Amino acid sequence: MDLINLTIHELRDLIRNREVSSEEIVRSFLSRIEKLEDKVGSFITLTKEKAIEDARKIDKKIKEDISNLSDLAGIPVGIKDNIVTEGIKTTCGSRILKNFIPPYDATVVKRLKLSDAIIIGKTNMDEFAMGSSTENSAFKITKNPWDLNKVPGGSSGGSAAAVSASLVPYALGSSTGGSIRQPAAFCGIVGLKPTYGLVSRYGLVAFASSFDQIGPLTKDVEDCAIVLNSIIGFDKKDSTSVDNGNIDYTKALMKDIRGIKVALPKEYFDDKVDNRIKEKVLDAVKVLEKLGAKIDYVSLPFSEYALATYYILAPSEASSNLARFDGVRYGERVENYNSVEELIVKTRTKMFGDEVKRRIMIGTYFLSSSHYSKYYKKAQQMRTLIIRDFERVFRDFDIIISPTTPTLPYEIGEKKLVSMYFSDVLTVSANIVGIPAITLPCGYIDGLPVGMQILGKIFGEIDILSVAYAYEKNSDFQKRIPEIKEGIKSGV
Amino acid sequence: MAYKTIIGLEIHVELLTKTKIFCGCLAEFGREANTNCCPVCLGLPGALPVLNKKVVEYCIRAGLALNCKISNRSRMDRKNYFYPDLVKGYQITQYSNPLCKDGYIKINTKHGEKKIRIKRIHIEEDTGKSIYDGNGNVLLDYNRSGVPLIEIVTYPDMNSPEEARMFLEKLKVILKYIEISDCKMEEGSLRCDININVIDEKTKLKSTITEIKNLNSFKAAVKAMEFEEKRHIELLKHRENTLKETRKWDENKNETVVMRGKETVEDYRYFPEPDLVEIEVDENWIRDIKENLPELPDNRKERFMREYNLPEYDAAVLTSSKELANFFEKTVKINKNPKQVSNWIMGNILRWINASDMDINEMKFTHKDFANLLELINNGKISNNIGKKVLKIMFEEGKNPEAIIEERGLLQISDVSELECIIDRIIEENKQSVEEYKNGKEKVLGFLIGQVMKITKGKANPQLVNRIILEKLKQ
C-alpha cells in the first residue's frame, strides 16, 4: 500500500483497523524523505530515530487499547522551525540560532504530543518568517514540488512543500501576513490561519506578536479540521489566547452551506491579480453558488492601505522581538570583540540575514520617537479602519472569498524586496484584522496550482471550513499529486 | 546671592509578591546564581509574559496610600535598549498610561507642613544583575530578572537635601506600613535616582539638571545631594554651568563622579506591549483594596495623640515604624500608662536599637516582658534606676524581668527596720557630714542617700530612705 499519498483521516482509519502500524507509516515517510528531500529541501532538522522510537511506543499503546486514540495518533508531522521543540534544534531559519536547542515545548507541540503525534522534523522557512518564498533561509532553498525551478512560497515554504510532496501528511506553519496561505496556495494544498488567539502562541518565536498565529497545512479540508481540533484551546501562558470552548471542527464540516452569504470584494479582483487566477476563483464561486451560496460583490475601501499598514506595524514589532538575539545568553556569537557592545553589534551584523536586518532597521525607524506618530501610530489608526471595513462587510455576509495570491508561483531568484512584499497583498488583511482565513486549491494554470481564499468572521472557522469542505467535495483539484520535477523555464 | 535647590526623585521599589511579575518563578533572593529562572524570565525565544495580578494590586495599594488617582484602564509598554542583563532587549514597563497618577506625601519641614507631589507610579520588571568580578569579566545572574518593581516619580518639589531625606523616610515608612516592600536600600529593594539643579534667585539662571545614581543608603543620598548642591552653586557663581550627565556617589572619595554623559538622548522606542492585553481595574476592586489598607502612619500618629494623649513628637516617633507602633500599643494594653511606656521606649529602647542598628522585632524580649517590668516599677518592687538596669539586661540577654531580679537579687528593699539598720550605720560612719547638715548644709543629704544606695547596690526604696534619713537627722 502506498501510505505516503494518504490523508490524516485515511491513515487514522488504517491504524484504527490495525491494518498498518505507526512504525510502518513513519518508515514510509522517512524513505520518501530519503528519496526526495535533496530535491525539495523541506527540512532543516530530521528526527528519524526519535520518530521511529515514538512510533513503536504508540504502536504498543494501540495494541492495548484504541478506544481513546486521537485522530493524530501515530501519524508523523513536520513542524515549522520557529515553533520551539524541547531537545530538538529550533533555528528559525537563522544562523544566529543555528545550534539552538530549546529547553521547552511550545504549547502546540505539547498538544500534538498529547495527541500522540510523531514529530518527524523541523521544516525550512524564511529567516524568522520574514519572506514569501523561503529563499531567505540561512540553510537552504526549498523548491516547489510542482516545478522545482519555482519557489514554494513562504515563509512556511518548507511545511507547504513537504505536505505537497508527501514527505509528511501534514505540517504546522505560522502566519504573520500570509505565511501559511500563500505557500499552501503555491504548493496546491490546504492552509488555515486561525482567528488570532484561537491557537496559543506560547513557544512560537515571535515575528510580529499582534499578527502571528500558528495553523495547519494539510492535504484536504477534513485534515485541516482534525489538526485544528488538537491544537486549539485556551492557554494561560499566552495572555492573548482566547477560550472559545471545545468545538469539534470535523463535525462543523457537515454544516449546510445553503443560504450562506458570500462577499466578493472588488478590490481583491482588480487588475493587481493575474486574470487567469481570477477566472479560476470565480469558477469556484460558481460551484458554491450552485450549492446554494448567495454571492454578492462588496467594497473594502481601505484595502489599498493594508499592505503598507502591515509593512509598518510588523517590522516595528519585529525590531523589538528580535532584540533578544544578542549573542549573550544563547545562540551563535562572534569570536572577537572588545566590549559587550561590540559583541552584540558584531554578532547581529554577522548572524542575521539581509532581509531580517532590513526589517529590523525599518522597524527601528518607525518606532523612533521622531517618526512614531507619523508611521507606527498612523498605521495603528489605519489598522482600526481596516478592522471596521471588515466588520461592516461581516454585518451582511458570512464569508469573504478572494484569490489567495495575485500571481502564480514565481521562479527562484525572480522577486526581490517590494515585488516580493506584494505577494502578501491579498492575505495580510486577515492578520491585520485577526480573522480566520483558509486557502484550498481551485484549479491549475500551466501545471501550477491556484488557491482560493475564504475569510470568516472572528471565530468563524466553522463557516470557512464548511464552505471549503463543500467545495472540495464538488471538485477534484485536491486529489492531484505533483510529479516533483523541474518545469519548463519561463525565462527570467 | 541666594540659590534655590530643586530636587526630584525617581524611586524603584521591589515588591514583596511571592512570584515574579510575568512568570511563576519565586521573587526571592539569595539563591545560587541563575537557578531561579524559567523560559519567560530568561526571555527565551517563544516565551510569553503573563501579568501577575498581585503586582497590580500592590501598585494600587501604593497608589492609594500615596493619595494617587488609580487608572481604570492601563497598559504595559516596551522600553527598548540593549544591555546584557536585559534578557529580551526590552523592558516591559508602563510608559504612556501608568496605573497610578497625581498623588502626594506630606512632610514636616522647619517651615511647616509641605506637600511633595507624586507624578506617577507604574509597574515594571526588574533586570538581571551584572556582576563585575574584578578581572575585567562581567558575570550575569538572572535570578532578579522579572522581579516586580514599582517606580515612583515625584515632581521636583523638594528644595533641600533635608526635604528629600524626609520624603524618602516618609515614603519608606508608608510602603512598609502597607507591606508591599521591605524597602532595604542597602540590599537594593529600594533604589533612588536623584535629579537635582539650582536656580539663582536673582538672575533666575538655572544650572543643568544632573542625575545621581548608585546610592545605597539615605545617608549617601543626602551627602550626594549636598555635594551636588554646592557644586552647582559654585559653577553658577563662576558663570559656568553643569553638564547634562549622570553621576554616581563615590563613597570613598566622598563626592559624586561622572558615570556617563547624556549629550545624546537615548531613544527607547516605547510602544504598547503586544504580548499583553490592557489592564482593566474596576472600582469594586479599588474599593476592596482601599478597605483592606492598614492604618497609615499619619492617621496613626493623630490617633496616638488623641487616644493616648501623647505629645506630637512622641506620637511621630512611635509611629515611624509599624512594628514600633505595634509594640507600643500592645504594651499600653497591659500597662495603661501611655506616657510612661512612650518615655521608656524613646528614652531607652530606641536608643539601644539605633545604636546596634537593628529592628524592633529583632529584640530579645516581648512587649509582655516590657509591660511586666513597668508594673514592677510602678508597684515599688524595684526602683526606676534598677528598672533601667533590668531592661538593659533584658535587651542584651532576653530573660524576663522577674528572673533577672531574682537571679541578681535586685528586689527593692522596702523593709523599714532593715533600712533603719543600714541608715544608722551610715550616720554612725559619717558623723562629720551629719554635723555639716545640722549646720545648714542641706546638700549633704544627697551624699548620705547616695551612701545608702551604694551599700544596697541601688536596691533601697529611695522614698523610704529619704524619709528615714530625714527623721533620723531631726533627732
Of A203, A239, A367, the CB nearest to B271: A367
pLDDT band at B263, cuts 50/70/90?
Answer: low
Judge whether A361 is closer than 8 Å to chain B, CB to CB.
no
Q: Pick the closest to residue B277 from A348, A241, A127 (CA basis).
A: A241
Q: Tell me the pairing of strands A294-298 and A261-265.
A: parallel
Output DSSP code: residue A268: G
CA distance B178 to chain A (A): 29
Is the separation of the CB atoms in A164 and A188 below 8 Å?
yes
* A209 Cβ under 8 Å from any chain B Cβ: yes
- Evaluate whether residue A382 is within a structural domain: no
Closest CA to A451 of A257, A227, A217: A217
Left (φ > 0), alpha (ψ -120 to 50) or beta: where does A93 sit?
A: left
Shortest alpha-carbon distance between residue A266 and chain B (Å): 32
Q: Which of A125, A202, A376 to mutate to test the interface with B (most CBs of B within 10 A)?
A: A202
Among A203, A209, A340, beta carbon nearest to B275? A209
Closest in A239, A316, A326 to B48, CB measured: A239
Evaluate whether residue A357 is within a structural domain.
no
Is A80 labeled as catalytic in the residue annotation? yes
**CB-based contact, A338 to chain B, within 8 Å:** no
Give residue A1's pLDDT: 60
Longest CA span, chain B: 100
Residues of A in contact with B84 (CB under 8 A): 326, 328, 340, 344
* Sequential pLDDT tens for chain A (492 residues): 689 999 999 999 999 999 999 999 999 999 999 999 999 999 999 999 999 999 999 999 999 888 889 999 999 999 999 999 999 999 999 999 999 999 999 999 999 999 999 999 999 999 999 999 999 999 999 999 999 999 999 999 999 999 999 999 999 999 999 999 999 999 999 999 999 999 999 999 999 999 999 999 999 999 999 999 999 999 999 999 999 888 999 999 999 999 999 999 999 999 999 999 999 999 999 999 999 999 999 999 999 999 999 999 999 999 999 999 999 999 999 999 999 999 999 999 999 999 999 999 999 999 999 999 999 999 999 999 999 999 999 999 999 999 999 999 999 999 887 788 999 999 999 999 999 999 999 999 999 999 999 999 999 999 999 999 999 999 989 889 999 988 876 544
Q: Is A175 a known active-site residue?
A: no
A468: buried, middle or exposed (CB in 10 Å: 19+, 13-18, 0-12)? Answer: buried
Sequence-distant (≥ 6) Cβ neighbours of residue A47 within 8 angstroms:
A88, A119, A120, A121, A122
Q: Which residues of A touch B93 (CB under 8 A)?
A: none
| Chain B nearest C-alpha distance from A379 (Å) | 13
| A 429-468: CB under 8 A from B | none
Chain A positions in Cβ-Cβ contact with residue B78 (cut-off 8 Å): 320
Q: In chain A, count H helices and then E strands.
A: 16, 11
- Min Cα distance B155 → chain A (Å) is 23
User: Which pLDDT does position A492 carry in this prediction?
Assistant: 41
pLDDT of residue A443: 97
For B98-155, how does the pLDDT look when each residue is reduced to its tens digit (9 = 90+)?
999 999 999 989 889 999 999 999 999 999 999 988 888 889 999 999 999 999 999 9
Say yes or no: A87 contacts chain B, CB-CB below 8 A. no
User: Which chain B residues touch A329 with a CB distance below 8 Å?
Assistant: 42-43, 87, 140
Q: Which residue in B has a C-alpha nearest to residue A328's C-alpha?
A: B84
Total structural domains within chain A: 1
CA distance, residue B321 to nearest chain A CA (Å) = 39
Asked if A326 and B82 come within 8 Å (Cβ–Cβ), the reply is: yes
Which three-class secondary structure state does DSSP give residue B119?
strand
Question: Quick count: other Cβ atoms within 10 Å of Cβ A81?
Answer: 30
Instruction: Give the rounded distance of the alpha carbon of B388 from its chain centre.
Output: 26
pLDDT of residue B134: 86
Side-chain half-sphere exposure of B124, counting CA atoms within 13 A: 23
User: Within 13 Å of residue A46, how many CA atoms lie on the same side as its CB?
Assistant: 19
Residue A419, preceding peptide bond in cis (omega within 30° of 0):
no
Is residue B101 helix, strand or coil?
strand
Within a domain: residue A307? no
Contact A12, A76 (CB under 8 A): no
For A:222-261, CB contacts with B below 8 A are: 236-240
Query: B347 Cβ partners below 8 Å, 6+ apart?
Result: none
Tell me phi and psi for residue A352, to 5 degrees.
-90, 145
Of A202, A320, A368, the CB nearest to B46: A202
Q: Which residue shows C-alpha cell 524619709?
A: B467
| Residue B120 distance to chain A (closest CA, Å) | 21
Between CA A437 and CA B57 the distance in angstroms is 39
Of B47, B50, B80, the CB nearest to A239: B50
* Cα separation, A384 vs A380, whole angstroms: 6
Which residue, chain included where needed, has cell 485577526? A434
The closest of A13, A41, A39, A42 to A25, measured between CA atoms, is A13
Would you state the pLDDT for residue A490?
54
ipTM (interface predicted TM): 0.96
A125 touches chain B (CB under 8 A): no
Q: Evaluate whether residue A370 is within a structural domain.
A: no
**C-beta atoms of B49 and A239 within 8 A:** yes
Predicted pLDDT at B357: 81
Q: Is A193 a catalytic residue?
A: no
Determine contact: A332 vs chain B, CB below 8 A. no
Query: What are the CA-CA distances from residue A50 to residues A58, A106, A168 (Å)?
Result: 12, 18, 16
Domain ranges of chain B: 3-284, 302-404, 416-474
What digits encode the pLDDT tens for the residues B77-99?
999 999 999 999 999 999 999 99
Distance from CA of A278 to the nearest CA of B (A): 36
DSSP strand E in A183-269: where?
190-193, 213-218, 261-265
pLDDT per position as a tens digit, B371-401: 988 988 888 788 888 888 888 888 888 888 8
Distance CA(B45)–CA(A202), nearest Å, equals: 10
User: Residue A165 sits in which domain range?
Assistant: 3-264+397-479
In a domain, A305, yes or no: no
- Contact residues of B toward A, CB < 8 A: 39, 42-51, 78, 80, 82, 84, 87-90, 138, 140, 267, 269-271, 274-277
Residue A377 contacts B where some CB pair is shorter than 8 Å: no
Written as one letter, the residue type at B255 is: E
Looking at 3.40.50.150, 1.10.10.410, 3.60.15.10, 3.40.50.2300, the CATH number of the domain B416-474 comes to 1.10.10.410
Give how far B36 is from chain A: nearest CA, Å. 15
CATH number at residue A461: 3.90.1300.10
> Of A28, A133, A137, A155, which is the active-site residue?
A155
Is the Cβ–Cβ distance between A422 and A373 less than 8 Å? no
CB nearest B88 (choices: A83, A316, A324):
A324
A chain contacts of residue B270, beta-carbon cutoff 8 Å = 367
Cβ-nearest to B46 among A205, A341, A376: A205
Chain B residue nearest residue A327, CA to CA: B84
Size of interface A-B (CB pairs under 8 A): 103
Q: What is the pLDDT of residue A489?
A: 64
Q: How many CA atoms lie within 13 A of A90 on its CB side?
A: 27
The pLDDT value recorded for residue B310 is 94
The pLDDT value recorded for residue B450 is 87
CA dihedral B298, B302, B303, B307 (to 10 degrees): 160
The Cα A218–Cα A225 span in angstroms is 9
Give the residue from chain A lying closest to B40, CA to CA.
Answer: A237
